[in-house]
Chain A
């Protein structure tokens, strides 16, 4: 199954500072095992532009579409057998400790 893993900040990161995983090692391992198809870090939310069309009119606003303390700072596209494998991949990501991760399966898993 394909999962889009959104990488987000969190207002309450893990206070346990011991043995945080290394992002380079995480990418290398999951790329090698074919579980990470691609991924990227995103520019700061101040660079975001939100686009809507209403009644034929283009409405642009600066910033992300949701005004929250937690923002999406990156993504990884995962290919995993099931949710358990995706959770194993996600829990080893440093941002599982520093922030939070959202696992969203593709609506059509054939894509």
Chain B
């Protein structure tokens, strides 16, 4: 029953919160009423059986709670009447969405992800309001106390009201400008924190939101691309850790443990995209890895081309670093080292452990073992985690052994 309820809630919760916010304008009231409806379902459904229309049942309970609360606060009649008409919307599936009608949930997502809110506030608000994640869980992922997170969420909701952030999906040119910001929030959600199983804490929520966004905004290539990227990266979730809990790099993972159905879905999504944006390119890179039977059978020239294109449209120090690594595999370590030198010229990668490790690896493969050993030691000193540090020291030892270079 709990699993069934969780499934129903995942779909119903954002619909209810979004609809109640639209009518009442009160974010906290909307969340409280949706939570109360879920709590009542937990108590009633096991005893009385599942209702025929669980989503509609939850919406009706939440709506009635909202009406009670607003009556107590003697809110004007118009709002109460509008509330009373809410229940049927919970029964509408996405397939009944007309061209003009904008789903409440889409409105909610765009408001939570409004660029006038700080990025961290956007992520936290989306988790809380759209996904219904408990505040305590969000606080844990952000490494703050629950009280701090509660304050942060309250401040964000207050800011929406005070600053006049609209509850609306932008139209026309503004949509193209705002969508990348929404996708950035989803991406941050996907990468936020890691659980003990090596899975990002909110990967499931991010995937669910990307699916929802794709349903609500069909034809937006970057939305499909982001979902594909999530699925392809998440397909490796069970293979990312060794028995001791250490993170395994791609080339040491047991590829038979990759989730084939997630990979197939990701590839299928990519096949439907004609013009690649930044997420499309990242998804294609992930797809190259996902479809390679072994590390040595990876299509590095293709990955290198994707990074070239990504660097052209959205150059960041990390993209330039990965581009150098890809060229190192595709066209030899000397080519990689040359690109890496260019990427480091600005100083943005100074002391970056991955940049040091990449330089060490390229240098080792280029035949300069003594220099590589020293570089691996420097990379180990800069490493963020113990397993990473150990792996780098192993490579340093390998390269300082007095054995002749392999041909």
Chain A interface (Cβ < 8 Å from any Cβ of B): 1, 3, 80-84, 86-87, 103, 105, 107
Find out whether the CB atom of B165 lies under 8 angstroms from the CB atom of A82: yes
**Chain A contacts of B116 at CB under 8 A?**
83, 87
- A14 → B minimal CB distance (Å): 18
Closest A residue, CB atoms, query B116: A83
Chain B interface (Cβ < 8 Å from any Cβ of A): 114, 116, 162-166, 168, 170, 174
- B108 → A minimal CB distance (Å): 16
**5 A-B pairs with the lowest CB-CB distances in the bound complex, closest first:** A82-B166, A83-B164, A1-B164, A82-B164, A83-B165
CA distance A1 to B174 in the complex (A): 20
Cβ-Cβ contact count across A and B, 8 Å cutoff: 26
Secondary structure call for the A interface: mixed
**Chain B contacts of A3 at CB under 8 A?**
164
**Chain B contacts of A81 at CB under 8 A?**
166
CA distance A87 to B174 in the complex (A): 11
- A21 → B minimal CB distance (Å): 17
Closest A residue, CB atoms, query B114: A83
Partner of A105, one of B114, B162, B166, B170: B162
CA distance A1 to B120 in the complex (A): 26
Find out whether the CB atom of B168 lies under 8 angstroms from the CB atom of A105: no
CA distance A87 to B163 in the complex (A): 11
CA distance A21 to B28 in the complex (A): 41
CA distance A107 to B162 in the complex (A): 7
CA distance A4 to B163 in the complex (A): 12
CA distance A87 to B168 in the complex (A): 15
CA distance A81 to B167 in the complex (A): 11
**Chain A contacts of B163 at CB under 8 A?**
83, 103, 105
Closest A residue, CB atoms, query B163: A83
Beyond the given A3-B164, A105-B162, please list 20 additional residue pairs across the A-B interface where CB-CB is below 8 A: A80-B164, A81-B166, A82-B164, A82-B166, A82-B168, A83-B116, A83-B163, A83-B164, A83-B165, A83-B166, A84-B165, A84-B166, A84-B168, A84-B170, A84-B174, A86-B164, A87-B116, A103-B163, A105-B164, A107-B162
Of listed B162, B164, B170, B174, residue having the most chain A CB within 10 A: B164
24 contacts between A and B (CB under 8 A): A1-B164, A3-B164, A80-B164, A82-B164, A82-B165, A82-B166, A82-B168, A83-B114, A83-B116, A83-B163, A83-B164, A83-B166, A84-B165, A84-B166, A84-B168, A84-B170, A84-B174, A86-B164, A87-B116, A103-B163, A105-B162, A105-B163, A105-B164, A107-B162
